[in-house]
């Protein structure tokens, strides 16, 4: 992305919002970590304003904008030019039949797609106005800002509950003495603290499936991301555990922008502010969730949400 493009994007940002973005939020995040250099590289320079402490207002997540995003596996094009905006502090659900490119698209937002051998992406992904596919962008810094929760709960098997949550900070070289506080804050944020506070040294893999998934959410939260991508986070969970995660998503959107891929249309209807319907690598329709489910504009959307196919 060119520098002119960057300033253009920056002027789009609402001045009120951009000052909120810069503010640290000690109650929730336990203060900004020391190793903050990666994040700063992501922040457009012109939004650098002295943060005015305004208590009571929670830090906002980042907006994400996809522009003509195309994703490939080798020569096969899986995402075929998608334009889509994920608004800050909203939950956006992506629905669509299996294989339509939902997961692939979402994996482009933190550049995990390119980890698959032979895979690459084209187009632009603007994180709060900055193209994360720009040549000078540090992938590792992008991933610190854009966390991810996967379909299958996958706590690190060699680590305790505590170490799992702390792993993100340790792996990114941000230790600090407030580690205990940050682990507790992340576990509280994931609604897991009361269940595990007395057994933090137990193996993370010993928890139930739903607890493991919330542990993974806590692990993502601990590095203080701006956006969390959830790739079918409840598909391996029972209804009770699913409900807990959904309640959690509702809380988390106060802090971060959430993108959730789901096969479960009721889930999209329950948790999402906006819903996007994808088909065969293309974005068919995006809109407020209730509109997508009650009066979709596209006939294919209607057929999908009413269960005629998919």
Partner 1 sequence: MSTPAPTADLSARFGLTAGRRRKDKFARGVILAATILALVPLVLIIYYLLKKGLGAWSSSFFTTDPTGNTFFKNSDIGGIKSAILGTIEMVALASLISIPIGVGVALWLVEYGRNSWFARVVRFFVDVLTGVPSIVFGLFIYIVLIIGTGSSFAGYKGSLALSLLMLPVVIRSAEVILNLVPAGLRESALALGAPRWKVIMKIVLPTALPGMVTGVLLAVARAAGETAPLLFTAGSPKTTTYNLSEFMNSLPVQIYNDVNSPSTEVVNRAWGAALTLVTMILILNLIARLISRRSRLA
Which strands form 91-95's sheet, in the order they lie side by side?
146-149, 227-231, 257-261, 91-95, 274-279, 282-288
Of residues 253, 185, 227, 245, the one with CA closest to residue 28:
185
CB of 92 to partner 1, least distance (A): 18
Q: CA 187 from chain center: how many Å?
A: 17
Residues within window 74-103 making contact with partner 1, judged by CB under 8 A: none
Under the phi-then-psi rule, with left for phi > 0, alpha for psi from -120 to 50, and beta for the rest, what region is 90? beta
Output the six-digit token pair for 199.
Answer: 């057994």
Q: Could you say which of 11, 40, 170, 251 contacts partner 1 (CB under 8 A)?
A: 170
Q: Which of 30, 129, 147, 204 binds partner 1 (CB under 8 A)?
A: 147
Q: Of 147 and 296, which has the nearer Cβ to partner 1?
A: 147
Figure out which of the listed residues 150, 235, 291, 310 binds partner 1, where binding follows CB under 8 A.
150
- Regarding 36 and contact with partner 1 (CB under 8 A), the answer is no
3-state SS, 165-221, equals HHHHHHHCCCCCCCHHHHHHHHHHHCCCHHHHCCCCCCEHHHCCHHHHHHHHHHHHH
Stretch that binds partner 1, among 147-155, 183-191, 248-256, 287-295 (CB under 8 A): 147-155
Which of 21-29, 42-50, 74-82, 145-153 is the region at the interface with partner 1 (rule: CB under 8 A)? 145-153
List 21, 91, 141, 207, residue binding partner 1 (CB under 8 A): 141
Answer yes or no whether residue 46 interacts with partner 1 by CB under 8 A: no
| 112 makes contact with partner 1 (CB under 8 A) | yes
DSSP 39-89: HHHHS-GGG--PPPP-TTPPPP---EEEEEEEEEETTEEEEEEEEEEE-TT
In angstroms, give the least distance from the CB of 226 to partner 1.
12
Q: Which one among 219, 253, 270, 274 touches partner 1, defined by CB under 8 A?
A: 219
In the complex, least distance from residue 307 CB atom to partner 1, rounded to whole angstroms: 30
Q: Answer for the pair 228, 148: CB distance below 8 angstroms, yes or no.
A: yes
* Sites of contact with partner 1 (CB under 8 A): 38, 110, 112, 115, 117, 140-145, 147-148, 150, 152, 154, 156-158, 167-168, 170-172, 205, 216, 219-220, 223
């Amino acid at each position: 992305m060119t520098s002119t493009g960057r300033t253009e994007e920056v002027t789009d940002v609402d001045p009120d919002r951009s000052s909120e973005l810069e503010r640290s939020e000690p109650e929730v995040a336990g203060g900004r970590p020391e190793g903050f250099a990666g994040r700063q590289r992501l922040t457009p320079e012109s939004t650098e304003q002295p943060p005015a402490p305004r208590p009571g207002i929670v830090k906002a997540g980042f907006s994400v904008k996809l522009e003509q995003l195309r994703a490939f596996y080798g020569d096969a094009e899986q995402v075929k030019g998608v334009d889509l905006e994920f608004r800050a502090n909203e939950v956006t659900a992506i629905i669509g039949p299996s294989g339509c490119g939902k997961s692939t698209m979402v994996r482009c937002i933190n550049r995990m797609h390119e980890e698959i051998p032979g895979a690459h992406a084209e187009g632009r992904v603007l994180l709060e106005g900055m193209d994360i596919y720009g040549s000078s962008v540090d992938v590792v810094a992008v991933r610190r800002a854009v966390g991810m929760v996967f379909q299958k709960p996958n706590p690190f098997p060699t680590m305790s509950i505590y170490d799992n949550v702390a792993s993100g900070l340790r792996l990114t070289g941000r230790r600090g003495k407030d580690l205990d506080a940050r682990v507790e804050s992340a576990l509280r944020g994931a609604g897991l603290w009361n269940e595990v506070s007395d057994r933090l040294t137990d193996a993370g893999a010993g928890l139930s499936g739903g607890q493991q998934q919330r542990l993974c959410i806590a692990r993502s939260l601990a590095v203080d991301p701006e956006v969390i991508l959830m790739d079918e986070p409840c598909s391996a969970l029972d209804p009770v555990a699913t409900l807990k995660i959904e309640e959690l998503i509702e809380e988390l959107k106060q802090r971060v922008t959430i993108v959730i891929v789901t096969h479960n249309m009721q889930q999209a209807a329950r948790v999402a502010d906006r819903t996007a319907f994808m088909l065969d690598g293309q974005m068919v329709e995006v809109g407020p969730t209730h509109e997508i489910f009650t009066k979709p504009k596209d006939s294919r959307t209607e057929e999908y949400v009413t269960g005629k196919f998919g």
